[in-house]
Structure 1
Amino acid sequence: MATGVDPDTSTMMESAWMDVLQKMDETYADMLAYQVELEKKNADLESMRQFMDSVLGAMTDILIVCDQTGRILQINRALELLLGREQVGLEGEPIQTIFIPESATALQEILRLAARCKPMGARELSLAGRHGEVPIEVHAAPRLNARGRMMGVVLIGRPVGEVKRAYASLNTAHEQLKAAQAQLVHAEKMASLGRLVSGVAHELNNPISFVYGNAHALERYVGRLETYFQKVWSGAPREELIALREDLNVDRAVSRLREAISGALEGAERVRDIVESLRRFSADGRGQSERFDLVAAVQTAIGWVVKGRDRHFTLNYDVPDRLEIVGRSGHIQQVVMNIVQNACDSIESQTEQHVSVAIRRERDEAVITIADNGPGISAEARTKLFEPFFTTKPVGKGTGLGLSISYKIIEEHGGQLGAENAPDGGAVFSIRLPIAGNQDSGPDGARSR
């Protein structure tokens, strides 16, 4: 009886073993690839863990991660330093244990709102720190998993002392900036006043001369009266007194005495008004705003400019009798003087020089328009006109601060300062200011001069 394996069967078995070996090789290769990828992911995970640890360790704000029940899962190094305790000893502890009892109610409210994904602002709590109570400002947010399900709450806080110091530092810087700005405005104002000192001197010269002349007249009249009354007191005869009275012209001296006193008073009052205007103009502007007549303030400012110019120009007025606003009249005068001065500088090359000033009311605004017949504003200058230190004047003729300061002054008064070119040439500056209360004049009433 013959034994052995059928050739076909042997071939099939051999083929099956080959398939098994091939599958084993493929599986082994896949396992090696999976192992390599797993090691890479473990390395990436370790790198990410180290990165997160370094970030958490570098944070100056405190971080608390707790689960849904309010038990601590993780804290950062900043909180460990404040508490004087390490994370290992706090894991699993209720979050309330690191806060003072007085913060318990607010803490529960924070956790409840965060768990319900409700928006809320910062809350102030107090930690039980190693050196005593530590007030902190806390923000809370829910911690969600990949499916968006609630896993716990994350709290981030910062000691309130640091926040207060930051606010104090910011406030100090703001006050210093305001003081520097006020000094800059005052310096530019004094520069404007210095340029117009000749006009101011001329303005004061007339009333002072008036007072001086009347004082001399009073001195003469008093001398005559003293001579006459000395004769009266000495008991001179009536005939001698009548002759002396006619010789000294006592009757005329007496009749003109009151006139001379009135003239001296008028001149002194005019000097007083000019000095008061200068005082208001030169004030540093830190006082309270006041109600004043815009028309009078503008006319006074322009008068100083006109009297300070070597070459006269045609000035056209179109203004109402009175228009009141609330603000600082000295600052508004500074703006008007600056713009009119610039207008005068721009028309120096013109054969005929014209400056027009108009004041009108538009609803609840007073609008001052100052126009000239100069060359106008170039396209480049219009984009930088109100920037600090920008000027089209030659070196030494302008600081480039006048218009930028003027812009800020008008802005602080709740108004607007703008500039454009007129259709027929020249520059036109417009100042818009809010009007104070009701005015006696009509909305558009104006008088021309």
Structure 2
Amino acid sequence: MNQSLVKLTGRREYDLCGHPVVDLFADEASREQAARTFVHPTGETVHELELQLRAADGGAMAVSLNGTPRHGASGKLLGMVVTGRPVGELRRAYHALRQAHDDLKRTQQQLLHSEKMASLGRLVAGVAHELNNPISFVLGNVHALQRYASRLARYLETVHRGAPAEELKSLRAELRIDRIIGDLQPLIEGTVEGAERTRDIVDGLKRFSAVDRDEQQRFDLVAVVQRAVHWVGKAISGGFRANLSLPRTLMVVGSPGQMQQVVMNLVQNAHHATSGQVSPRVDVIARLEDASVVLEFHDNGPGIDPDNLPRIFDPFFTTKPVGKGTGLGLAISYGIVERHGGQLTAANHAEGGAVFTLRLPVV
């Protein structure tokens, strides 16, 4: 016995020693159950047995008891070692644990939102670069068309008021009408081409917006990889290359938006890991292997310190300088892949560099 039992029962230690264990309990049902379980044990372990203990104030106190059989050197059952604690204390501990679990879930959601915002920042950088060219092209063409429209309007107004042929010829040369007529079709075609390119980019953004949707669907992982690599490539510089070795299609089930976020994180991670290389690159290789779709990201960086490998997917773990990374990208990617019934692992490649391997179930 210990001081906790002495305190709960209000009895002195010498008063408790040598007395039947059933005397500790307040009601007949608890005493009978204690006799069956502890006085005449069967050798089985007891878990969470709730009985009414006689408390120091003479009332009853609910306690939760656990019992472990005690055997002698010969293997003979000698008795039971019984431990317990008040149910009220257990309930308070359970409430605290549940509160901690709820707080952890809220924190996880906040971290997920934080990483999504980081992914959005990378996307915005790529979109700005991607949209700049066609929009600038369209804008330049529209300005030219605006100038040409002003000259054509002036020339047509002169024609309509019946100006002499010599005046029209002189004005036509001055306004370069023949050049305008020759430029109109290419300008219009270029403007249409730029507008269509802008439309295609917006369509791509609509597909990317699925990153905030959790609905499960059948989708082509190859298309997701190509789209993610394209957007990351627009947001980074320094000669980094992503070499793709992909089959035509690889169908899986899950959230294409979430999987695109994983691919973006892994390519971005490879970009950071290879920043000191002369020709930084990542080889993205996809294949079918048994009952899994396998996607590998092999970079030509320095690899991962063996001491860091066990922690590489831990939240907030990063080897980047302070302010250069949240340490959440790989942790969140790991969680997304796990929720898709897959695995995400990291290792050092035999030929140098690091390799991240993503496995998803085949549809």
Fold match, TM over 0.5?
yes
Distance in 2, matches of 1:291 and 1:90, equals 69
Deviations 1:347-371 (A, max 9, x none): 4555545432111121122211112
Equivalent pair of 1:298/1:336 in contact (CA under 8 Å): yes
Q: CA RMSD in A?
A: 4.6
Equivalent position of 1:271 in the other structure: 202
Equivalent pair of 2:298/2:349 in contact (CA under 8 Å): no
Matched, 1:416 2:344: yes
Equivalent position amino acid for 2:354 in 1: A
Q: Given the alignment, which residue of 257, 265, 268 partners 1:338?
A: 265
Distance in 1, matches of 2:246 and 2:2, equals 69
Secondary structure of residue in 2 paired with 1:419:
strand
Instruction: Call closer, same or farther: CA 1:161–1:322 in 2, change over 3 Å.
Output: farther
Residues 315-330 of structure 1: pairs in structure 2 closer than 5 A = 315-330=242-257
Matched, 1:172 2:99: yes
**Following TM superposition, by how much is the alpha carbon of 1:142 offset from its aligned partner in structure 2, in angstroms?**
6.9
Q: How many residues align?
A: 312
Equivalent position amino acid for 1:77 in 2: K
Instruction: Call closer, same or farther: CA 1:354–1:108 in 2, change over 3 Å.
Output: same
**Following TM superposition, by how much is the alpha carbon of 1:415 offset from its aligned partner in structure 2, in angstroms?**
0.9
Distance in 2, matches of 1:211 and 1:122, equals 75
Q: Given the alignment, which residue of 41, 44, 49 partners 1:123?
A: 49
Equivalent pair of 2:44/2:69 in contact (CA under 8 Å): no
Q: Given the alignment, which residue of 282, 286, 308 partners 1:359?
A: 286
**Following TM superposition, by how much is the alpha carbon of 1:155 offset from its aligned partner in structure 2, in angstroms?**
4.8
Equivalent position of 1:139 in the other structure: 66
Equivalent pair of 1:211/1:267 in contact (CA under 8 Å): no
Equivalent pair of 1:292/1:324 in contact (CA under 8 Å): yes
Distance in 1, matches of 2:76 and 2:306, equals 61
Matched, 1:106 2:33: yes
Distance in 2, matches of 1:98 and 1:172, equals 32
Distance in 1, matches of 2:266 and 2:354, equals 10
Equivalent pair of 2:242/2:283 in contact (CA under 8 Å): yes
Equivalent pair of 1:138/1:155 in contact (CA under 8 Å): yes
Equivalent position amino acid for 1:139 in 2: N
Instruction: Call closer, same or farther: CA 1:132–1:401 in 2, change over 3 Å.
Output: same
Instruction: Call closer, same or farther: CA 1:422–1:194 in 2, change over 3 Å.
Output: farther
Equivalent position amino acid for 2:49 in 1: R
Equivalent pair of 1:210/1:264 in contact (CA under 8 Å): no
Equivalent pair of 1:208/1:271 in contact (CA under 8 Å): no
Equivalent pair of 1:207/1:268 in contact (CA under 8 Å): no
Deviations 1:16-41 (A, max 9, x none): xxxxxxxxxxxxxxxxxxxxxxxxxx
Secondary structure of residue in 1 paired with 2:47:
coil
Instruction: Call closer, same or farther: CA 1:78–1:134 in 2, change over 3 Å.
Output: closer
Instruction: Call closer, same or farther: CA 1:159–1:325 in 2, change over 3 Å.
Output: farther
Equivalent position of 2:2 in the other structure: 56
Equivalent pair of 2:217/2:253 in contact (CA under 8 Å): yes
Equivalent position of 1:191 in the other structure: 118
Equivalent position of 1:160 in the other structure: 87
Equivalent pair of 1:128/1:134 in contact (CA under 8 Å): yes
Q: Given the alignment, which residue of 397, 400, 415 partners 2:324?
A: 397
Equivalent position amino acid for 1:271 in 2: V
Secondary structure of residue in 2 paired with 1:433:
strand
Equivalent position amino acid for 2:51 in 1: L
Distance in 2, matches of 1:112 and 1:159, equals 21
**Following TM superposition, by how much is the alpha carbon of 1:194 offset from its aligned partner in structure 2, in angstroms?**
1.0
Instruction: Call closer, same or farther: CA 1:100–1:312 in 2, change over 3 Å.
Output: same
Distance in 1, matches of 2:16 and 2:241, equals 88
Distance in 1, matches of 2:350 and 2:72, equals 67
Secondary structure of residue in 1 paired with 2:346:
strand
Instruction: Call closer, same or farther: CA 1:379–1:152 in 2, change over 3 Å.
Output: closer
Q: Determine which structure has more spread, i.e. the larger CA radius of gyration.
A: 1
Long gaps (5+) in structure 1: 1-54, 63-75, 213-262, 438-449
Equivalent pair of 2:220/2:249 in contact (CA under 8 Å): yes
Secondary structure of residue in 2 paired with 1:321:
coil
**Following TM superposition, by how much is the alpha carbon of 1:184 offset from its aligned partner in structure 2, in angstroms?**
2.0
Deviations 1:235-284 (A, max 9, x none): xxxxxxxxxxxxxxxxxxxxxxxxxxxx9999768635523423x32x3x
Distance in 2, matches of 1:140 and 1:390, equals 42
Q: Given the alignment, which residue of 80, 93, 116 partners 2:10?
A: 80
Equivalent position amino acid for 2:10 in 1: E
